Amino acid sequence: MSFVHKTVLLHEAVEALAIRPDGCYVDGTFGRGGHSRLILSRLGPGGRLIAFDKDPAAIREAGQIADPRFSIVHEGFATLADALAARGVTAIDGLLLDLGVSSPQLDDGSRGFSFRFDAPLDMRMDTTRGNTVAEWLASADQQDIAEVIRDYGEERFAKQIAAAIVARRGDAPVGTTRELATLVAGVVRTREPGQDPATRTFQALRIFINRELEELALILPQALALLAPGGRLAVIAFHSLEDRIVKRFMQDAAKNHLPSRLPIRAADLPPPPLRLIGKPIRAGDTELADNPRARSAILRVAERTEAAQ
């Protein structure tokens, strides 16, 4: 089947990179290639684009781009520095990250990301390696399950959900999306209007099994080290946990950290390694009408300065 993916903040994100025709850019989350294809349209013959993605379906989609300036890496973006070094790249002019799960992953019921379908409880972005959510839930300690659901899903009923999952293992482990959604619905009695009781639990398990927050924390310092002066870092986040990591990193790297008691004027301080570019950008009314999944997207942009790291 073919699943449609509407790229969120397509033009805003690529404009934020301030593409140089002969520059070297990285799309850390290829997805279905919306951002990558637009970046390629802005590059000249001497430009280069290297994309990353864990998902085998995304890798197959990338194989349709017959462009010598483009290459795809079947790895998560946390491998950025090593993967670029292996390709002889020591500096880049821009990095784009479009975080979270893609529409095709959600809409393909067999992937197990969504409670809208009854399917094996998988949720791996890379289906070629690692444990599925079902496999992890079958053996994890109750406390570990509760902590994951609480920390990654901000779910106030995390302890009760974890207890129900472990109790269920006495008969048979939770193995499908419908089984998990039904179990959670029996525990979570109140929820925000319009939100399914299982929303936060599914989000938490997906983030955990794919190490999404850990990989985000790993790539940001790598980006800072690899960006050439004037290079841009553009990140689209979809929920508060990942946006908080991005916001704090950018703000911290955009400040000087010399002891305040030193007798140095502010004008004499060396510039920080990053400069914040504009205000955070959200989808406009037109995009929201066409793609409601863009409602939580927020784009933050920063530029590498001449300062030493």
Query: Is 82 annotated to bind ligand?
Result: no
Do 216 and 99 form a contact (C-beta atoms < 8 A)? yes
Query: Is 53 annotated to bind ligand?
Result: yes
Q: Which helix (H) or strand (E) holds 95?
A: strand 92-98
Q: What are phi and psi of 12, to 5 degrees?
A: -60, -45
Do 49 and 17 form a contact (C-beta atoms < 8 A)? no
Contacts of 133 (CB under 8 A, 6+ apart): 112, 121, 122, 123, 124, 205, 206, 209
Rounded-to-integer distance, Cα 226 and Cα 231, Å = 9
Do 307 and 271 form a contact (C-beta atoms < 8 A)? yes
Query: Is 108 annotated to bind ligand?
Result: no
DSSP H helical segments within the chain, as ranges?
10-16, 34-42, 56-62, 80-86, 103-107, 133-137, 142-153, 158-168, 177-187, 199-209, 212-226, 240-253, 285-290
Q: Supply 270's token pair.
A: 């060396």
Do 2 and 24 form a contact (C-beta atoms < 8 A)? no
Q: Which helix (H) or strand (E) holds 275?
A: strand 274-276
Query: Is 105 annotated to bind ligand?
Result: yes
Query: Is 98 annotated to bind ligand?
Result: yes
Instruction: Point out the annotated binding site.
Output: 33-35, 53, 77, 98, 105
State the binding site for S-adenosyl-L-methionine: 33-35, 53, 77, 98, 105
